[in-house]
Structure 1
Amino acid sequence: MSAEQVPERKPTSIQPIPMHSRIQKRWVLAKRRNGVQQQLHNEAIESQYHSILAKAKQLLKSQGVYLERDYKNDNTENAFLLHAFISDSFYFTLECSMSFVYLVEYAFSNCLHEDDLRKQLSTYTLSQHAKEVDLQPTFKTFYQTVITVQDKRYLHSL
């Protein structure tokens, strides 16, 4: 493909990691290095994550703009992250750790459905691999920064 045929990229404030600096996605390495037991465990965590995500989106209907981004096959920003969902009241991410184990991070901020979502998080095997985090400097500032800097194609309305 010649330089003239390459479509022009819309500028964003987040620049992709240069190709020569990218490392392979951790989940790909986990599939190669982990035994069958750990692979099945990771798949169960991912399945449970997406189940809770679907429930969260249903509960959070009509609560504004949110970011949802599938990083699983996207190595432009982060080799560890598989998926991210960030609304103004609920933060929910799935990543593959340095030790090739899937982990979930979550946070709440004045979430009307926090009790329901906590119940969902506690009823799964996922609870052993889920960690509540404090977003810095505050949840509201973190959310507003994400909405401002992320490419608009990843922003949606509930």
Structure 2
Amino acid sequence: MDKYAERLTGFMRAVGCMNDAANRVSDYFVVKLEKSDSMLTSLAMYHSSITNKFPAAYWHPQLKECSQKIVMETVKIWFFEHEDMQLLPSSLKQNILANFIDDLNEMTGNALFYSLITSPPVWYGSLHEEFVIESQYGRYLIHFSCH
């Protein structure tokens, strides 16, 4: 695993644990995608690694370019979704987001951001949201889900 993706995943999982409630579990992670000739091919390799029962095309991936600001707005929603997390002091929430964006920028440098829309053919969480980042250091998938 990529050391930057591993560090960011650890950070995200710690925040995800704080969002866990009795009736659901949060799952947040970052994966460095395999190198390939296109982003969709990299995503196909990732989706194939989840299950070999269905071709990667069954995920019906669609990429929509977005900004880092949109990604961070989504991160904020997922990080502070549980009411206990919403009660944190605003300075602490800002510090959590600042640390996340610093690590994200270190991992990706100058990057392009895409919202990833899929229709998974297998159980993938009751609600999920994903982004793909393309940078000079590689392609990364950021995943948020709950189940």
TM-score for the superposition, normalised by structure 2: 0.35
Higher CA-based Rg: 1
Q: Report which structure shows greater RCO (CA 8 Å, sep ≥6).
A: 2
Kindly indicate which of the two structures has a greater share of residues assigned to helix.
2
Kindly indicate which of the two structures has a greater share of residues assigned to strand.
2
TM-score for the superposition, normalised by structure 1: 0.33
